[in-house]
Amino acid sequence: MNIDLKQLDDYISEGKLEEALSQIIKFEETTEINFQLLIKKAEIYYLLQKFSNALNLYKQILKIEPENKLVQSKIEMITTILKYQACDIFESTNLNADPWLD
């Protein structure tokens, strides 16, 4: 089974991210995923805001290509996003407690 990278790019540009992801996952079932597809999969997870999945893939990519500046910056960006998501002071419905002391 082959995967059409142009079709994947079309899906991504059209906002059909779930379709693009399912194509990659189907391809993975029969063939070992290559580096280019690993990057595409990480990008799709990032666009879907599935940051923990994207972060895991970007770290896997960084093991293969440690000097990749784009991947390093994506990891930093996702780490910052996850840090701020976990630090939402308005997350608590207890309005009597000081959110900074929780």
Q: Is residue 92 part of a domain?
A: no
Cα separation values, 100 from 84, 85, 89, Å: 14, 15, 7
- Cα separation, 82 vs 72, in Å, equals 15
- Closest C-alpha to 62, from 80, 48, 79: 79
Could you tell me the residue range of the domain that residue 29 belongs to?
A: 5-86
Q: Is the pTM of this model over 0.85?
A: no
Q: Is residue 102 part of a domain?
A: no
Q: Is residue 17 part of a domain?
A: yes
Q: Is residue 78 part of a domain?
A: yes
Both tokens of 30, joined, read: 């029969």
Please compute the mean of the pLDDT values over residues 81-85 and round it to a whole number: 84
- Provide the CA 78 distance to its chain's centre, in angstroms: 8
Both tokens of 71, joined, read: 């991947």
pLDDT tens profile 22-51:
999 988 888 887 888 999 999 999 999 999
- Cα separation, 64 vs 61, in Å, equals 5
Which has more confidence, 74 or 94? 74
- Cα separation, 10 vs 35, in Å, equals 19
How much is the pLDDT for 42? Answer: 96
pLDDT tens profile 84-98:
877 665 666 665 665
The mean pLDDT of the chain is 86
The domain that contains 45 carries what CATH number? Answer: 1.25.40.10
Number of structural domains in the chain: 1
How much is the pLDDT for 35? Answer: 87
